[in-house]
Structure 1
Amino acid sequence: MPFLLRVELPDVPGSLGRIASAIGAAGGDIEAIEIVEHRSDGSAVDDVLLDTAPGALPDGIVSACNALDGVQVLWISRYPAGGNIVLDLEAVEELTEHPAEALNRLIDLLPVVFRTDWAARVRRTDDGTEVVRRTPAAPEEFDWVELDRAERLVGDDMYDVAGAPLGDGEMVFVGRRGGPEILDSEIARLGHLAGLAVTIAR
Structure 2
Amino acid sequence: MLLRLRVSLPDRPGVLGQVARAFGVMGADILQVTVLERQSGRAVDDFTVSWSGLFEPGELRERIGVVPGTRVEAVWPTREAPGTSPDYDLLGHVAGEPDRAYLALVDAVPDLVSAEWAVAVDSSTGEVVHGSWQAPETVPAADLTPLRPASFSEGGLHLVSVPMDGVHLVVARSQGPAFHRAEVDKVVRLVEIVCVLARAGVSRTA
- TM-score normalized by structure 1? 0.81
Structure 2 match to 1:46: 45
Structure 1 match to 2:2: 2
The separation in 2 between residues aligned to 1:90 and 1:78, in whole angstroms, is 17
Is 1:76 matched with 2:75?
yes
Is 1:132 matched with 2:129?
yes
Counterpart residue type for residue 102 of structure 1? A
Q: Does the CA-based 8 Å contact 2:159-2:170 persist in structure 1?
A: yes
Structure 2 match to 1:105: 104
User: Does the C-alpha gap of structure 1 residues 59 and 175 become closer, same or farther in structure 2, counting only changes over 3 Å?
Assistant: closer
Structure 1 match to 2:87: 91
User: Does the C-alpha gap of structure 1 residues 163 and 86 become closer, same or farther in structure 2, counting only changes over 3 Å?
Assistant: farther
Q: Secondary structure at the match of 1:91?
A: helix
Q: Secondary structure at the match of 1:64?
A: helix
Q: Does the CA-based 8 Å contact 2:31-2:82 persist in structure 1?
A: no
Deviation at 1:56, TM superposition (A): 4.1
The separation in 1 between residues aligned to 2:83 and 2:11, in whole angstroms, is 22
Counterpart residue type for residue 185 of structure 2? A
Is 1:149 matched with 2:145?
no
The separation in 1 between residues aligned to 2:16 and 2:7, in whole angstroms, is 10
Q: Deviations over 1:137-168 (max 9, x none)?
A: 32334566443321013511x2111100102x
Counterpart residue type for residue 137 of structure 1? Q
Counterpart residue type for residue 163 of structure 1? S
Structure 2 match to 1:166: 164
Q: Does the CA-based 8 Å contact 1:27-1:61 persist in structure 2?
A: no
Q: Secondary structure at the match of 1:98?
A: helix
Deviation at 1:12, TM superposition (A): 3.4
Structure 1 match to 2:204: none
Gaps of 5+ in 1: none
- TM-score normalized by structure 2? 0.80
User: Does the C-alpha gap of structure 1 residues 31 and 170 become closer, same or farther in structure 2, counting only changes over 3 Å?
Assistant: same
Deviation at 1:117, TM superposition (A): 1.2
The separation in 2 between residues aligned to 1:173 and 1:67, in whole angstroms, is 36
Counterpart residue type for residue 162 of structure 1? V
Residues 15-26 of structure 1 mapped to structure 2, 5 A cutoff? 15-26=15-26
Q: Does the CA-based 8 Å contact 2:28-2:50 persist in structure 1?
A: yes
RMSD: 2.6
Deviation at 1:121, TM superposition (A): 1.2
Counterpart residue type for residue 109 of structure 1? A
User: Does the C-alpha gap of structure 1 residues 86 and 114 become closer, same or farther in structure 2, counting only changes over 3 Å?
Assistant: farther
The separation in 2 between residues aligned to 1:86 and 1:105, in whole angstroms, is 20
Q: Does the CA-based 8 Å contact 2:78-2:114 persist in structure 1?
A: no
User: Does the C-alpha gap of structure 1 residues 102 and 95 become closer, same or farther in structure 2, counting only changes over 3 Å?
Assistant: farther
Counterpart residue type for residue 44 of structure 1? A
Q: Secondary structure at the match of 1:129?
A: coil
Q: Secondary structure at the match of 2:154?
A: coil
Q: Secondary structure at the match of 1:18?
A: helix
Deviation at 1:134, TM superposition (A): 0.8
